[in-house]
Amino acid sequence: MTYPRNTNRSLSGGEADSRMVGPAADAVPASPRFPEIEREILEFWQGDDTFRASIANREGAQEWVFYDGPPFANGLPHYGHLLTGYAKDLFPRFQTMRGKKVDRVFGWDTHGLPAELEAMKQLGITEKAQIEAMGIDTFNGKARESVLAYTREWEEYVTRQARWVDFERGYKTLDTSYMESVLWAFKTLYDRGLAYEGYRVLPYCWRDETPLSTHELRMDDDVYKSRQDPSVTVTFPLVGAKAEALGLTGVRALAWTTTPWTLPTNMALAVGPAIRYAVLPAGPNGAADVHHTPEGAADDLLEASAHRYLLAEDLLGGYAKDLGYESAEAAREAVERTVDGRELEGVAYDRL
């Protein structure tokens, strides 16, 4: 294969210009052997050290900084890795063509739950106590071995994509220098007042005793399991000027939750702006939110029958018996009026 820089094409004035190179049209084969062409190009790039030359001959030029979001190396690349790899190559290559110096150092993500779970799988253990029993150093050694198991295969795949990246100076998040740089960066942000402490609700794995990211929830079929959790429905009386204007004063809004322990600090109820809500009185059997006692059963029933309730019209069937009706049809027939969810925005209610 002839490298273009060694081939000159004559110009009309008899001069040669190394920028205008390439084979004549009749020299292009009708049926090119692409695997062979690929091999020849990759071999030439390697022998010529073309990638490093593209950086070295731009020493002193404006830098364009690129960091490759590192993959885990405890598995082979899949379609998603390869597809995003082309995007990661496109921009650095374009900036290089514009004369900028673009270092492209590859990296490996060696931290996180996927690495630990793979190490546990290889060791045949399932509990944190087993890790502590064998020793943290032993477990970390297995995890380190696991996360770097496929680095050679990754390099082969990425190279065959025709991507230009520096594997020899590649970083690993387990490197002490890398971890110290992260600590330095965070300290710098903290010292400048750019870090703050907050609270966030996250999924939690009781087996591994750690919060889970959205990515980790999608890793495997057995990571996240749907299950039936108990829920409670609580009523909140509507109050205030807007409730009065809507004719809803004293009407009890039904609120559903699977986290009843949060109710004492409840600050808002959610309504859907496009959902229609029904207003209806308690049924003849009395609503479930009134506590009945043998001594005052008659009074309790009278109190319950005076209550009115607000809930999504589509849920009348599911709550018919709780509201004191024999059937969903009876509950629907008892509806006094409906209200659009957007009208309920800003209505006040009595908290627990």
Ranges of each domain in the chain: 32-110+148-195, 232-349
Q: What is the pLDDT of residue 221?
A: 61
Q: Per-residue pLDDT tens for 300-344?
A: 444 555 799 999 999 999 999 999 999 999 999 999 999 999 999
Counting residues of the chain whose pLDDT is more than 90, the rounded percentage is 57
Structure tokens at 237: 């009386």
Q: Per-residue pLDDT tens for 94-108?
A: 999 999 999 999 999
d(CA 91, CA 165): 13
Q: How much is the pTM?
A: 0.54
* Dihedral-angle region of residue 247 (phi above 0 means left; psi in -120 to 50 means alpha; beta otherwise): left
d(CA 133, CA 160): 44
Q: Per-residue pLDDT tens for 213-263?
A: 877 777 666 666 677 778 899 999 999 999 999 999 999 999 999 889 889
Structure tokens at 338: 């409906």
Of the two residues 136 and 72, the one the predictor is more confident about is 136
d(CA 120, CA 126): 6
What CA–CA distances, in Å, run from 36 to 5, 39, 156, 256, 343? Answer: 21, 5, 16, 65, 69
CA 23 from centre of chain: 49
Query: Per-residue pLDDT for 9 more than 50?
Result: no
